[in-house]
Amino acid sequence: MRTLFNKVLVDLAKDDKRIFMVLADIGYGEIEPFRDTFPNRFLNVGVAEQNMTGVACGIAMEGNIAITYSIANFPTLRCLEQIRNDVCYHNANVKIVIIGGGLAYGALGVSHQATEDIAIMRALPNMVVVCPADFAEAEAATRAMIDYSGPLYYRCGYKKEPPVHRGPIDFKLGKAIQVRDGSDFTLIFTGTIGNQVLPAADLLEKDGLRPRVISMHTVKPIDREAILAAVRDTGAIVTVEEHQINGGLGSAVAEVICDAGVFPRRMLRLALPDEYVSKVGSHDWLLDQYGLSAPKIAQSIRQWMN
C-alpha cells in the first residue's frame, strides 16, 4: 500500500505544484520518485520529527499542501505538541501520513507499533482521520486527501494487503462503504484489519449467520447514518480494529450510538487490550496472539452470539 500511495502522490504532484513532501530521514526505497521528480518540493529534515512538523506547517501556511511521512509512531506521538499547536490550531493544510499502523512492524516492538494513534489523532480539533483498508481505498483516499483543505491523518498500510473490495468503490471522506449486506449483526472495521474481517465473515456465514460488513475508512468525521442504520436494521454491532481498545473505532461507534439514543441489543468491541504489546513476532502471528486473526475474530463472535 505504501508503494501505491507514493505512486499516486507523484501523479497528483505533477498537476498540483502546491504538493510538498517533508521527511525525517525515512522512507528510502519508496520516496525516490517524488524526490527525483520534484527536488524543490522535497525536504529531508533529518531525524527531527518535531522540526519536520513545524516546517510542514510553515509550507502549508504559504498556501501549499505539505505531507509529512514516516513509520507508525514517529510522525505522530513524537511530534504531538507540534501537530496540536502548529498544525491543528492553525487549521493548516498538512497531511500526516504514517506507514504500517497497528502491529505491522511487529518484530520491531512497541516503539514501532502505532496502537494509540487513532484515539489521539481523532481527539485533536480540525483533524480528519482516515484508515484505508486496501489498494482501492488507499488510492481513493490519497486523492481525497489532496482535495481536502485542512489537517488530515492518513494511516497507510505497509505492504501488499489483500483486497477487501471486489469492484469499484464510491469513496467519500466521512462516508462508510458497505462491503456486503446482512441482517443478523453488523461488522464494522477500519483499516487493513479488513483483510481479516472478510474471511471471518465467510467463516460465520458457514455457520448460517449473515453479517453486514462495513468499512469505516474515515473514523473522523465518522458516518453516523451508516452506524445508526446498522443498529436499526441488524440490532447488534461488532467493531474490529488493529488499535488499542480505548478511544479508537469501537469508542467512536459507541459514542454515536449513545448520543443518538438508538441502542443495539448487543455490542462487541474487538481490539488490542489496554496494555503494551510485549510479544514479539511477525504481523500475522501477533494478530493471532491478540485475537485479531480471522479464525479468532470468528471464534469471539460465535461465543458472543451464544
My answer on whether 124 and 57 are in the same domain is yes
My answer on whether 149 and 266 are in the same domain is no
pLDDT tens profile 12-63: 999 999 999 999 998 788 999 999 999 999 999 999 999 999 999 999 999 9
pLDDT at 160: 81
Tell me if 41 sits within 8 A of 19, measured CB to CB.
yes
Residue indicated by cell numbers 504531538: 80
> Is 235 domain-assigned?
yes
pLDDT at 192: 97
**Mean pLDDT value of segment 155-176:** 93
Instruction: Provide the percentage of residues in the chain whose pLDDT is more than 70.
Output: 100
pLDDT at 119: 98
Q: Which residues of 182-193 are buried (b: 16+ CB within 10 A; e: fewer)?
A: beebbbbbbbbb
My answer on whether 146 and 187 are in the same domain is no
**Mean pLDDT value of segment 156-181:** 94
My answer on whether 276 and 148 are in the same domain is no
pLDDT at 11: 98
Neighbours of 302 (CB within 10 A): 13
Residue 261 region, left (φ>0) first, then alpha (ψ -120 to 50), else beta? Answer: left
pLDDT at 8: 98
C-alpha–C-alpha distance, residues 178 and 188, integer Å = 9
C-alpha–C-alpha distance, residues 291 and 200, integer Å = 12
My answer on whether 35 and 117 are in the same domain is yes
C-alpha–C-alpha distance, residues 155 and 259, integer Å = 27
pLDDT at 26: 87
C-alpha–C-alpha distance, residues 198 and 233, integer Å = 20
My answer on whether 58 and 204 are in the same domain is no
> Is 145 domain-assigned?
yes
Q: Residue 124 maps to which CATH number?
A: 3.40.50.970
My answer on whether 134 and 204 are in the same domain is no
Which residue, 178, 195, 219, is CA-closest to 294? 195
C-alpha–C-alpha distance, residues 169 and 151, integer Å = 24
**Mean pLDDT value of segment 195-200:** 98
Tell me if 1 sits within 8 A of 192, measured CB to CB.
yes
Q: How many residues does the chain have?
A: 306
Tell me if 282 sits within 8 A of 106, measured CB to CB.
yes
> Is 259 domain-assigned?
yes
My answer on whether 142 and 268 are in the same domain is no
My answer on whether 138 and 208 are in the same domain is no
Neighbours of 208 (CB within 10 A): 7
pLDDT band at 242 (very low <50, low <70, confident <90, very high): very high
> Is 169 domain-assigned?
no
**Mean pLDDT value of segment 203-227:** 98
User: Tell me, what amino acid is at 61?
Assistant: M
The pLDDT mean for the chain works out to 96
My answer on whether 44 and 6 are in the same domain is yes
Which residue, 146, 139, 142, 144, is CA-closest to 17? 146
Which domain range does residue 200 map to? Answer: 177-305
pLDDT at 159: 80
pLDDT at 95: 98
Q: Pseudo-torsion of CA 157, 101, 74, 115, nearest 10°?
A: 180
My answer on whether 89 and 188 are in the same domain is no
Residue 138 region, left (φ>0) first, then alpha (ψ -120 to 50), else beta? Answer: alpha
DSSP state of 253: H
Q: How many domains does the chain have?
A: 2
Q: pTM of this prediction?
A: 0.97
> Is 229 domain-assigned?
yes
My answer on whether 137 and 240 are in the same domain is no
C-alpha–C-alpha distance, residues 215 and 132, integer Å = 9
Task: Give the ranges where the chain is alpha helix by DSSP (H).
Answer: 2-15, 32-37, 49-61, 80-82, 117-122, 135-147, 194-206, 224-234, 249-260, 283-289, 294-305
Main-chain dihedrals φ then ψ at residue 290, nearest 5 degrees: -105, 20
pLDDT band at 115 (very low <50, low <70, confident <90, very high): very high
